[in-house]
Structure 1
Amino acid sequence: MRTVLVAGDANVDLVLRGDVVPRFGQAEQLLDSGELVLGGSASIVACGLARLGVPTALVARVGDDPFGRFQRDGLEAAGVSTEHVEVDRDLPTGLSVILSAPDDRAILTVPGTIPTLRAAAVRAALAATGAAHLHVASYFLQPSLAAELPGLLAEVRAAGVTVSLDTNWDPAERWDGVLDLLAHVDVVLPNLAELRALAAGPRTDVDRARRLASLGPRVVVKAGADGGWSVDPAGAFFEAPGLPVDVVDTTGAGDSFDAGYLAALAHGIADEAERLRWAAGAGSLSTLGSGGTGRQASLADLGVA
């Protein structure tokens, strides 16, 4: 099995739970818990892939600070290669504060080093690792990389490397550039809100997914507690339910869903319904722990080994 290379964000998450709706006027609120955990969509996907037995490397940038060391130590403990995680001597590591409620969350992010990843670093990591698949996360947090992605992805796909993309949410809510990029992507993995933003015209979510799929990729949609579903470029529809769980924290559940789906691909699973079963199971189980990597699925959890 060849390496999967994940490109994107490597920031720490401070996850706060309890009465997390802020009240200004210098009001002090007492919360139930607060934990500093490994964060960043790309980092969480990479850890989830490694947990599912896939050789995984991350290309990202962190600062020369305690948060950057925390992030690299956590990735290495999870079995992710950090050889291509660059250390910036000037900028701080990114930081996200997660205000986590049982059914929703708000995210406050200080970008730090996140926007500074460039295509040259991704290209070098692909060459060094011999990766068979490239997954790009947090497109909108990385404007420099985003501007270079059309050329980079066309190049790597011509070399036989498959590509997946999870844009995550666009803080500016403009959603620029994604539709033009999809011709160079094999799998795109939006959640329902992102799907509706990317393809606003059609009347139903399946129609929206088919519109995106007509541009080239398979569209794999994260549907929260309901699991996930997909549409291929020919318009065929597949789905898998989520698992019934007592949710602790939804942070990173979509990233663990991504990891489950990409791990199934890496393990050679040809059946799309089975790939979605891996994805929905991995996403559901991740909500049993705090943060994105606190309770990621193993192959045994998915009934595979």
Structure 2
Amino acid sequence: MDVVTFGESMVVFNPDSRGPLRYVHTFSKSLGGAEMNLAIALARLGHSVGWFSRVGDDEFGRFILNSVRAEGVDVSRVIIDKESYTGILFKEWYYTSNPNVYYYRRGSAASKISGDDIDENYIKRAKILHITGITPAISESAAEAVFKAVEIAKRNNVMISFDPNLRLKLWSIEKAREILLEIAKSANIVMPGLDEAKLLIGKNDCREIADYFLSLGVNLVAIKLGKEGCYLKNKNEEVYVAGYKVEKIEDTVGAGDGFDAGVLSGLLKKLTLRECGELANGVGAMATLVKGDIEGYPYWEQLMEFIGKRSKIER
């Protein structure tokens, strides 16, 4: 298996109109969750991916499980929790492309994931274990699960990919800094956004941020710069890759997870650092073209057309 990842997936309710939710009466249902987003994005790019979590024994849990399975992601290690419910979130749209997000996840099935749910044999089959900073934020037991998974990966020479995915609605910056930087010390790949890197380590310059993580023993740092593109650096090379122009952004949620998938896809395909950046920028940009976390993620041929590596045949 190319990549294994785990974390909470939730049912997303997207309002059919803009404005305060108290004036919204209809919603569209979809699904979202950083790790699951990445798993689906990678599967669409042709990789073998496994995602696991805990979901409630309810209709929302079944919706998530069936949807992720339909995308070609292995869900054989997902646990159905008969005692807990599946988390949900609501988006709220005003005049920007970044929605307000309201979580209803405290005490959810996924928040009860623990070290006992981590299957060593499953993780050691993968080339890459991908984790995010969201999972350790949702509960103490989930944080323990993350550190156990990291330990297993290191013991079995599985590459560790880490997106800090800082969520200050879930914990304080002080606690986040402590836990996330500890995880980063064990990672081979770190993929922060520029703003969250500033909050975590107090540095503003991409090169300084990359050098900080490289000094911890990280092999590759990929910094997301939004519409400006990305900056990637390893021990031998650094590259800035300009972003792709998007005329009308519909939804930015899921773009960062798509970016991560592009980087990992490039690494798995043994592409150059610049090519990894191009894939990452392409998937991230295409995610913003459509409302929803996963709806805009491309298949490989679509991505090649978008980034100009293949001619598009109209008819």
Settle same-fold status: TM greater than 0.5.
yes
What is the rounded CA distance, in whole Å, between the counterparts of 1:275 and 1:211 in structure 2?
A: 21
**What's the counterpart of residue 119 of structure 2?**
123
SS for the counterpart of 2:221 is strand
Deviations 1:158-185 (A, max 9, x none): 3121011123123323212121222210
Tell whether 2:291 aligns with 1:290: yes
SS for the counterpart of 2:277 is helix
Judge conservation of contact 1:56–1:81 (CA < 8 Å) in 2: yes
Tell whether 2:106 aligns with 1:109: no
Greater mean alpha carbon deviation, residues 240-249 or residues 96-105? 96-105
Q: What's the CA shift for 1:239?
A: 2.1
Taking structure 2 as the reference length, the TM-score comes to 0.85
Q: What's the CA shift for 1:105?
A: 2.0
Taking structure 1 as the reference length, the TM-score comes to 0.88
What is the rounded CA distance, in whole Å, between the counterparts of 2:126 and 2:198 in structure 1?
A: 32
What is the rounded CA distance, in whole Å, between the counterparts of 2:224 and 2:264 in structure 1?
A: 13
Judge conservation of contact 2:41–2:261 (CA < 8 Å) in 1: yes
**What's the counterpart of residue 163 of structure 2?**
166
SS for the counterpart of 2:23 is coil
Deviations 1:74-125 (A, max 9, x none): 1011111111111111111111212245432222112212322223323346
Matching residue's letter, 1:167 = P
Q: What's the CA shift for 1:222?
A: 1.6
Q: What's the CA shift for 1:12?
A: 1.3
Name the Cα RMSD after superposition.
Answer: 2.2
SS for the counterpart of 1:274 is helix
Tell whether 2:256 aligns with 1:254: yes
- Quickly say closer, same or farther: Cα 1:143–1:106, change in 2 above 3 A: farther
Tell whether 2:46 aligns with 1:53: yes
- Quickly say closer, same or farther: Cα 1:124–1:160, change in 2 above 3 A: closer
> Quick one: percent identity of the two aligned structures?
25
- Considering Cα pairs closer than 8 Å and 6+ residues apart, tell me whether 1 or 2 has the greater RCO: 1
Q: What's the CA shift for 1:215?
A: 0.9
Judge conservation of contact 2:161–2:187 (CA < 8 Å) in 1: yes
Structure 2's unaligned 5+ residue stretches are 311-315
What is the rounded CA distance, in whole Å, between the counterparts of 1:143 and 1:284 in structure 2?
A: 34
Matching residue's letter, 1:116 = K
- Quickly say closer, same or farther: Cα 1:143–1:193, change in 2 above 3 A: farther
Judge conservation of contact 1:20–1:99 (CA < 8 Å) in 2: yes
- Quickly say closer, same or farther: Cα 1:62–1:4, change in 2 above 3 A: same
1:147 corresponds, among 144, 149, 157, to: 144
**What's the counterpart of residue 29 of structure 1?**
23
Matching residue's letter, 2:104 = V
Matching residue's letter, 1:130 = R
Greater mean alpha carbon deviation, residues 272-281 or residues 286-295? 286-295
- Quickly say closer, same or farther: Cα 1:254–1:203, change in 2 above 3 A: closer
